[in-house]
Amino acid sequence: MVYMKKTAKYLLIIALTLVLGCSLFGWIYIGDYYHADDAAFEAIKNPSEGITVREEKNSYIAFIPEDPVSGLIFYPGGKVQYESYAPLMEACAEKGILTVLLHVPANLAVLDRDAADGYKEMFPEIAEWYIGGHSLGGVVAAMYLDDHADEYRGLVLLAAYPTVDLSKTDLKALSLYGSEDGVLNFEKYEASKRNLPADFKEAVIEGGCHAYFGSYGRQKGDGEPKITFQEQKDETAELIAKLTADA
């Protein structure tokens, strides 16, 4: 009986240790993410002339041009603070695209793949919508489209690839990455092209890197960029605008 009590006590201690250890690991993992820099918050606080920012903290940030011609809902990259993409969203808005930047739990879009729900209805004046994301956010955007392909005009992938088959849809698709990207898994990227519509557009931003789609500094494992963040942001916005403008 004494032996059984001691065994039960030791098992309880081991179980509690494992629970506490897992909790600590989870807390450290979630708390370790890339933070938006000053330029990102400046884009939210003082947007370009003619652009209105509508924000609901820990929900979304919308950049609304005076006469929007299309809309883009955007999932942030994994473990990247969502405000980091404000400069890119602002740059797209300058070209007439109403952009909605999504907040996701623990900075991981995969934890809320349906985060895009409801925003098309929030802006009923927009007839043509696109959805996209950076890195893991792009993967999740494609997953979302797998269930909502008939509700959107196209997909924007920034250093990302689809893990679901969208090849038989009528979606327009744009896939961008930087030539110096050291984070993107190019083997999986190449293999995933079969999941995109046959006429998808692909572009390489010469000198660009993985992190410069957002405004959060350098990323571990990334390549050395040969252009500035501003240059990569502007080229990205230009290519997205071209996708939305093409018939």
Classify 112 as helix, strand or coil: helix
Query: Please, where are the H alpha helices in 74-149?
Result: 86-93, 119-122, 136-148
Question: HSE of 243 in the Cβ direction (CA atoms, 13 Å)?
Answer: 31
The span from the CA of 179 to the CA of 158, in Å, is: 12
pLDDT for res 20? 37
CA distance 207 to 205: 6
- Whole-angstrom distance, CA of residue 4 vs CA of residue 28: 36
CB 139 within 8 A of CB 124: no
Report yes or no: 103 and 55 within 8 Å, Cβ to Cβ. no
pLDDT of residue 10: 44
Q: How far apart are the first and last CA of the chain?
A: 80
Position 216 scores a pLDDT of: 98
Q: What is the pTM of this model?
A: 0.88
pLDDT, position 31: 64
Q: What does pLDDT average to in each consecutive run of 10 residues of the chain (247 residues)?
A: 49 42 38 93 97 95 97 98 98 98 98 97 96 98 97 98 98 98 98 97 98 97 98 98 88
User: CB neighbours (10 Å) of residue 145?
Assistant: 24
What HEC string does 183-204 produce? Answer: CCCHHHHHHHHHHCCCCCEEEE
